[in-house]
A and B are shown apart, each in its own frame.
Chain A
Amino acid sequence: MLDVCGVSSIDELFSVIPESLKSPGVELPEHIDEYELDRRVRNLASLNKTPVSFCGGGMYEHFIPAAVDSIAGKAEFYTPYTPYQPECSQGTLQTVYELQTALCRLYGMEASNASVYDGATAVAEAALMAVRVTRRRKIIVDGCLNPLYIRVLKTYLRYADCEIVQTGRRGAGLSEDGLEAEIDEKTACYIYQNPDFFGNVRDLSSDIKKVHSAGALAVASAYPVSLGLLKTPGEMGADIATGEGQSLGNPLNFSGPYIGFITCKRKYIRKLPGRIVAETEDNEGRRGFVLTLQTREQHIRRARATSNICTNQNHCGLRSLIYMTLMGKNGMREIAISNAKKASYACEKFKERGFAIENPGPIFNEFVVNIEKDAEDVLKNLYKRGFLGGVPLGKYFPDMKNCVLIAVTEVRSLREIEEFIGEFEKSV
């Protein structure tokens, strides 16, 4: 190859690249054999600590039935990519179709795609979708939307020539009535989260009516586990509903790969990005599955595709489908109730011990404790005592340096909750 290119060495081949951009090289240790490597990695792994976690803020520890691993581990499902050829991929296409169906039922929506990267990019894709539907360019973001989602949204839309405005927030309280002041005839959508980033549960039906009367769309971001119990985005009138799928059968693992859900009203399906699987019949009248409405996508529409960034997360999606199928409607409801009960119990206990809770009303499985001193220090102490005590909110909100966001899921026992509150008190 060097001969064909007319150069004598690799260095010469890459000489056009400025030195400042080249890697100084990687210093690797001497090679070792597989057995030795296995031993070293095991030793390293044994140094990991597994504190009892009360962290949430978008990612949650939930129980994953063993059947999820064994079914998802079937070799037939082990594929890194959505198969385009229906003649050899019926099994995989059927699981995607069923995932879409399950998500529509969970979110109370009419259509779903095959998934996107994660909950944050789902919000960004939904915003771009609303811009396409309404041909307007102003996006109103609720002040209680996950701050990391807002950052991803701003990154995605940096060159999209859109205006992004944020409504006010009172600490961990509910959003101020900034919506009415902001909403106008240029507004493409209003994006909200329920339960919001601080765990508050709200019914946004009347806000959504205001959004619709201005000709804009309502975009929801909803924690799928909560929907076993709470009013769905569809029931509130949302036009596009998104979510992070980690909590449905996917373990916590350094933030990914996870899976984003994006569902919508049927009339907007042609503006939905990403792959969509549909049911059809083959030439012998048998039920089958295919990718559909592909003219929206980049392999056909190129630069004008509904998205040139997204892809689906097939394996995480498969796990989510298996999880939801194993749980069933009643199981999803029981899990949601268990989360809500345990978190409310913990929240009451904190109040009894005299801690200030910032949430003004009902919560799902998270709440904000104001400890009236720097939260990061207290969390460091708690870590030494075997607890990941929550998310320090000063990280995202300068006015909330003294606040901790605490999540309690179904996996925390009452004893762990009691112990945690005891240690929390000592650390403060």
Chain B
Amino acid sequence: MIFYTDEHEWVEIEGFGGTAGITKFAARQLGDITYVDFPSVGDYFAEGEMICEIESVKSVSEFYAPISGKITEVNRELEDIPELVNESPEEDGWIVKIKADNPEEAGGLMNEEEYREYLSSIE
């Protein structure tokens, strides 16, 4: 199941594992992404806490934890090819993997349809 936050992050939940990144909308807004300032594997973030910063040619924005948990992996491929976030924000351009404290927490986020409605309300 994929869930979305109102800060335009997505998280795909499988059991206790979650893969997270930024949405197509966020990637388009940021413009060409040049750098992702990764957290360390093992760092813990509560839902809504800043995990890292994402830098583009025109700005820097914060990437918030969609669910509470521990970072188990970061997408090292982005160190050499940060533009993957623009090209494939919701697949190859994922940012971190999280071991969730409680995967049920994601129930409080938006599903795909709700996120689409949310986008049309702000666009």
Chain A residues engaging chain B, CB cutoff 8 angstroms: 270, 295-296, 300-301, 304
Q: Which single residue of chain A is at the shortest CB-CB distance from B57?
A: A295
Chain A residues whose C-beta falls within 8 Å of the C-beta of B58 in the assembled complex: 295, 300
Q: Report the minimum CB–CB distance from A142 to chain B (whole Å).
A: 27
Chain A residues whose C-beta falls within 8 Å of the C-beta of B59 in the assembled complex: 295, 300-301
Within 8 Å by CB of B37, from A270, A300, A301, lies A270
Q: Report the minimum CB–CB distance from A305 to chain B (whole Å).
A: 9
Q: Report the minimum CB–CB distance from A203 to chain B (whole Å).
A: 30
Q: Report the minimum CB–CB distance from A298 to chain B (whole Å).
A: 12
| B115, CB-defined interface residue at 8 Å | no
Max chain B Cβ within 10 angstroms of own Cβ: one of A270, A295, A301, A304? A295
Chain A residues whose C-beta falls within 8 Å of the C-beta of B56 in the assembled complex: 295
Seed contacts A295-B55, A295-B60, A301-B59; 12 additional CB < 8 Å A-B pairs: A270-B35, A270-B37, A270-B55, A295-B56, A295-B58, A295-B59, A296-B60, A300-B58, A300-B59, A300-B60, A301-B60, A304-B60
Q: Report the minimum CB–CB distance from A371 to chain B (whole Å).
A: 53
Q: Residues of B within 8 Å of A, CB-based: how many?
A: 7
Chain B residues whose C-beta falls within 8 Å of the C-beta of A295 in the assembled complex: 55-56, 58-60
Chain A residues whose C-beta falls within 8 Å of the C-beta of B37 in the assembled complex: 270
- Which positions 34-74 of chain B face chain A at CB distance < 8 Å? 35, 37, 55-56, 58-60
12 A-B contact pairs sorted by A residue (CB < 8 Å): A270-B55, A295-B55, A295-B56, A295-B58, A295-B59, A295-B60, A296-B60, A300-B58, A300-B59, A300-B60, A301-B59, A304-B60
A304 to B56, CA, bound (A): 15
Q: Which single residue of chain A is at the shortest CB-CB distance from B35?
A: A270
A300 to B30, CA, bound (A): 13
For the complex of A and B, the 4 pairs showing the least CB-CB separation, nearest first, are: A295-B60, A295-B55, A301-B60, A300-B59
Q: Report the minimum CB–CB distance from B112 to chain A (whole Å).
A: 31
A301 to B55, CA, bound (A): 10
A270 to B59, CA, bound (A): 13
Q: Which single residue of chain A is at the shortest CB-CB distance from B62?
A: A304
A369 to B35, CA, bound (A): 53
A81 to B21, CA, bound (A): 40
Q: Report the minimum CB–CB distance from B98 to chain A (whole Å).
A: 17
A145 to B55, CA, bound (A): 36
Q: Which single residue of chain A is at the shortest CB-CB distance from B34?
A: A295
A300 to B37, CA, bound (A): 17
Chain A residues whose C-beta falls within 8 Å of the C-beta of B60 in the assembled complex: 295-296, 300-301, 304
A304 to B61, CA, bound (A): 10
Q: Report the minimum CB–CB distance from A290 to chain B (whole Å).
A: 13
Q: Which single residue of chain B is at the shortest CB-CB distance from A301?
A: B60
A301 to B59, CA, bound (A): 7
A270 to B38, CA, bound (A): 12
A261 to B37, CA, bound (A): 25
Chain B residues whose C-beta falls within 8 Å of the C-beta of A301 in the assembled complex: 59-60
Q: Report the minimum CB–CB distance from A280 to chain B (whole Å).
A: 14
Chain B residues whose C-beta falls within 8 Å of the C-beta of A296 in the assembled complex: 60
Q: Which single residue of chain A is at the shortest CB-CB distance from B43?
A: A135
A207 to B60, CA, bound (A): 36
Chain B residues whose C-beta falls within 8 Å of the C-beta of A304 in the assembled complex: 60
Q: Report the minimum CB–CB distance from B4 to chain A (whole Å).
A: 24
Q: Report the minimum CB–CB distance from B18 to chain A (whole Å).
A: 21
